[in-house]
Amino acid sequence: MKEDNYAVIVKNLFKSFKLPIEQHSGIKQFLINIFNHKRGYEIQHVLKDASFKIKKGEFFGIVGRNGSGKSTLLKLLAGVYYPDKGYININGGLTPFIELGVGFNPELTGRENVYLNGALLGFSHTDMEAMYDEIVDFAEIERFMDQKLKNYSSGMQVRLAFSIAIRAKSDILLIDEVLAVGDADFQKKCFSVFRELKKQGKTIVLVTHDMGNVERFCDRVLVIDNGDIVAITTPSKASSIYARLNISDSNLVQISDEDKNVSRWGNGGIKIDNISINHLKKDVSHILNFEDSLEIIIKLDMEEGYEKKLFDVGLAFINQDNVNVSGPNSSMSPILPGSKIVKYRLDKSPFQPGDYSVTIAIIDRETNEPFDFYDRAISFHVVSDKAPQGLVSIGGLWSTE
């Protein structure tokens, strides 16, 4: 693919910071440290040889644990930081949604800050007059616009700043968890904007901890850990890798290239010993007719001392397009401690014709960490002589009056 088709190109990017490790009480101590070749800081390598490309019009996610380097990477893309080494090419106009409200003056009113922030984005006074009503309507804070900004809540400030920023005429949006303080309705409005911007061919780069939003919106996802790019992959695989990275270091196993496709991990103690599928069409293994009954049988192995542990079982049914079609969880029907066999039954399977895989997690109810997480543990195929529509068949009854 030609480089003109990419919105962002990053090659061999390095970034480090100096972290003070001692304080000098005076000039004397400073000179002593120099004489003894002591330096009062250590080098923290935040990014190490990062390389990737983002296509124009792509919704690209960046995920990682706290301190992994993801926000630093976003600030490098935004030009807030400069790399120690490496190359960044931004092909198009860019608006960063990193620290919304930078440039706001708390002593000015909301109305005055609209015009001030608009000017920082390159809009004229006439432009802002034309957009003012739309900005205020979107932010839903019309009655507060003549109050000083210092009297606004953090959520109100973000709503106003976001409403201004989305008017920017840019090709690339950089977003860093800016919606965390917004309520559910406002977040819904924001993501509707993102969908519309994507339809217009805009490129969106999202840094987040919310794997639900990653799977809902992203085309591809970069997973970063300790300054290293672990993977650039599909949202579903990225979600599995991210979950594994969040297990305590003592239980973490190095992720191999093979693991990125089929992964299994956990803290142990309760493990999946065997998985089977029971259905009406017995003659061919793992092939179901549409609307057959379906039962997944999970046999567990428990180490001594784990018989009284409380646990839940979660399933994820994933289709051939890597869409998580459904995710039932046993938490609403608590499993008795010591249970060695867990069954999940659908009397009338709703899955449309196609290939499916099932991810299974055995979750410690106390810590919410997995005893055993088995990604794509088993698969099945659904066939039909009908022509059903959509992802699932929801059934339902029709009536007339």
CATH number at residue 317: 2.70.50.60
What is the predicted pLDDT for the residue at 242?
80
Residue 255 pLDDT: 44
In a domain, 293, yes or no: yes
Given this model, what pLDDT does residue 29 score?
58
Task: Give domain status of residue 348, yes or no.
Answer: yes
Task: Specify the pLDDT at position 67.
Answer: 84
119 assigned to some structural domain:
no
Enumerate residues 6+ apart whose C-beta is below 8 A from 394.
350
Pairing of the two strands 220-225 and 59-63:
parallel
Please report whether residue 44 resides in a domain.
no
Q: Count of CB atoms within 10 A of residue 184's CB? A: 7
CB atoms within 10 A of CB 353: 15
Is residue 224 within 8 Å of residue 242, measured between CB atoms? Answer: no
Decide if 126 contacts 138 (C-beta within 8 A).
Answer: no
Any domain includes 306: yes
Calculate the alpha carbon distances from 307 to 217, 310, 314, 366 in Å. 40, 9, 19, 14
CA 234 to CA 320: how far, in whole Å? 12
Q: Give the pLDDT score at 3.
A: 73
Tokens of 386: 């009908």
What is the model's pLDDT at position 253?
Answer: 39
pLDDT of the chain along its 401 residues, tens only?
Answer: 667 789 999 999 999 987 766 555 556 555 556 555 555 667 888 899 999 999 999 999 999 888 888 889 988 998 889 999 999 999 988 878 766 666 788 899 999 999 998 888 788 999 999 999 999 999 889 999 999 999 998 788 888 888 888 887 788 988 876 655 566 677 778 778 878 888 888 899 988 887 777 877 889 999 999 899 999 998 877 877 786 676 544 343 344 454 444 578 888 999 999 998 887 655 445 778 888 888 999 999 999 999 999 999 999 998 887 788 888 999 888 899 999 999 999 988 888 888 888 999 999 988 888 899 998 888 888 877 665 677 777 777 776 78
- With respect to residue 363, please indicate whether it lies within any of the assigned structural domains: yes
Judge whether 286 and 305 are in contact, CB under 8 Å: no
Reference 109, options 145, 76, 83, 73; nearest CA is 145
Angle at 304 between CA 302 and CA 305, to 5 degrees: 100
Spatial CB neighbours of 362, under 8 Å, sequence gap ≥ 6: 266, 270, 271, 272, 300, 311, 312, 313, 370, 371, 372, 373
Reference 157, options 119, 96, 207, 102; nearest CA is: 102
Asked if residues 169 and 93 have their Cβ atoms less than 8 Å apart, the reply is yes
Would residue 230 count as lying in a domain? no
- What pLDDT, on a 0 to 100 scale, did the predictor assign at position 251? 40
Q: What one-character-per-residue DSSP string does 332-390 give?
A: GSPPPTT--EEEEEESS--BPSEEEEEEEEEEETTT--EEEEEEEEEEEEEE-SS---S
339 within some domain: yes
Look at residue 241 and give its three-state secondary structure: helix
| pLDDT in the model for residue 400 | 77
Tally of domains within the chain: 1
Q: Give exposure, 235-266, as e/b (b: 16+ Cβ within 10 Å).
A: bbbbbbbbbbbebeeeeeeebeeebbeebbbb
CA distance 57 to 47: 26
Rounded CA-CA distance 74/10 in Å is 11
**Residue 316 lies in domain:** 266-383
